[in-house]
Structure 1
Amino acid sequence: MDWAAWHAGYDNPDSVLAGRLAAVQAVIRAALDQAPPGPLTAISMCAGQGRDLIGALATHPRRDDVRARLVELDPRNTAVAEQSAREAGLTGITVVPGDAGLMRHYRDMAPVDLVLACGIFGNLTDADVLRTVEACAQLCREGGTVVWTRHRRPPDLVPVIADWFSARGFEQVFVSDPAAGFGVGAHRLCHPPRALQSADRIFTFVPEKQPAQP
């Protein structure tokens, strides 16, 4: 999979991907609107070019309150994310080149106010999706929000993922309508985060979705 070329779908305003991006950005803005005053922290797994968080923050009143870490493996995508953050004047954003499936990238920031797990769940086994949900319960602050995505192709795992979050102490804030053609969810943690586990590996993309060599 060429994850740099994949981003071209965002540039077609009529595409499902562009619609998903708009929904994710709207959920992020709503979470920022409802967050308590003061500094905020965020992490983005498999951040790609950072279009979701950078796009949401660029014009948001809380933009300067947010310190965020974007983790992305493809160096072409990290370069775009860094440039976009600079152009938007978002000095609180750090882009980390690396395997987003490793907990080591997040431990020193956890727990955070906002966890983005977008563009991940459709590329994992169901067991790794569940493992990532469990990791989110460790990485998210009480009252913090996890924003996630998953395609709606059969078998539609979106309702199952929503139930997995609920079973781990999250309340559902938003799940997109199936008619939209994409799945976007947001869940807020209602109790203190779970203790960080010692295991480092959270998820691994299935073989056909592994990044191509640039």
Structure 2
Amino acid sequence: MDWQSWHDEYDVPGSHLAQRLRVVQQQIRTVLDGSPPGPLRVVGLCAGQGRDLLGVLPGHPRRKDVRARLVERDPRNAAIAGDAARAAGLTGVEVVTADAALTDHYRDMVPADLVLLCGVFGNITDEDIERTVGVCAQLCGTGGAVVWTRHRGAPDRVPAICAWFEERAFDRQWLSAPDRGFGVGVHRFRGEPRPLREGVRMFTFVGAEERGG
């Protein structure tokens, strides 16, 4: 999979990815709008070109409150994200070229107020999805939100993902309608964050789904 060209569909009006991106960005706005005053920490796993967060933050009133780390393995996509952040004057956004599946890359950024898991769950096994959901209790602070995506093609794992979050003290805040053809979910953590275990691999990509993550 060429992960740089994969992003091209975002620029096609009305495409599946363009529609999903708008929904994800709206949910990010909602989370930022409802966050308490003060500094906000954001981490993005497999952040790609950073379009989710970087499409919202430049014009958002909380932009100066946000310290974000976007982790992306593909150096071309990471470079695009870094350039976009600098062009927008987002000095609080750091783009790291690294394997986002390793917990080590988040140790000084958690517990976070917002965790972005977009384009991940459609490319990993069910076992790894559940493991990653479990690690979110180490990534999220109390009251922190996870915005995640998963395609709704067969087998539709969205109901299971919701259940896995909700079994781990995450409350469902929002879920896209099944007939949208893609799943976007927001879960908020009501538990006490667990210490981050370093050196843990959350997931391994097994290949891109036709309909995206």
Q: With the length of structure 1 as denominator, give the TM-score of the two structures.
A: 0.95
Which shows bigger deviation, 187-196 or 61-70? Answer: 187-196
Question: Structure 2 CA distance, aligned partners of 1:198 and 1:91?
Answer: 27
For residues 30-86 of structure 1, what are the alpha-carbon distances to aligned partners after superposition, in whole Å with 9 as ceiling and x for unaligned? 000110001100000000000000111111100110000000011110110011111
Q: How many residues align?
A: 208
CA positional deviation for 1:192: 1.2
> Which residue does 2:114 correspond to in 1?
114
Question: Structure 2 CA distance, aligned partners of 1:102 and 1:149?
Answer: 19
- What pairs with 1:154-193 in structure 2 (closer than 5 Å)? 154-193=154-193
> Which residue does 1:144 correspond to in 2?
144
Q: Secondary structure at the match of 1:168?
A: coil
For residues 112-147 of structure 1, what are the alpha-carbon distances to aligned partners after superposition, in whole Å with 9 as ceiling and x for unaligned? 100000000000000000011011111000001000
2:37 equivalent to 1:14: no
> Which residue does 1:204 correspond to in 2?
204
Question: Structure 1 CA distance, aligned partners of 2:123 and 2:191?
Answer: 29
> Which residue does 1:212 correspond to in 2?
none
Which shows bigger deviation, 189-198 or 66-75? Answer: 189-198
> Which residue does 1:104 correspond to in 2?
104
Contact 2:42 2:69 (C-alpha < 8 Å) held by counterparts: yes
Question: Structure 1 CA distance, aligned partners of 2:86 and 2:79?
Answer: 11
> Which residue does 1:52 correspond to in 2?
52
Contact 2:107 2:198 (C-alpha < 8 Å) held by counterparts: no
Contact 2:104 2:199 (C-alpha < 8 Å) held by counterparts: no
- Which amino acid letter does the alignment assign opposite residue 177 of structure 1? A
CA positional deviation for 1:88: 1.3
Question: Structure 1 CA distance, aligned partners of 2:162 and 2:194?
Answer: 18
> Which residue does 2:28 correspond to in 1?
28
Question: Structure 1 CA distance, aligned partners of 2:201 and 2:113?
Answer: 22
Q: Secondary structure at the match of 1:29?
A: helix
CA positional deviation for 1:199: 4.6
Question: Structure 2 CA distance, aligned partners of 1:116 and 1:81?
Answer: 15
Q: Secondary structure at the match of 2:38?
A: coil
Which shows bigger deviation, 121-130 or 196-205? Answer: 196-205
Q: Secondary structure at the match of 2:108?
A: coil
Q: With the length of structure 2 as denominator, give the TM-score of the two structures.
A: 0.95
Query: Percent identity between the aligned chains?
Result: 60
- Which amino acid letter does the alignment assign opposite residue 101 of structure 1? A
Question: Structure 2 CA distance, aligned partners of 1:51 and 1:198?
Answer: 28
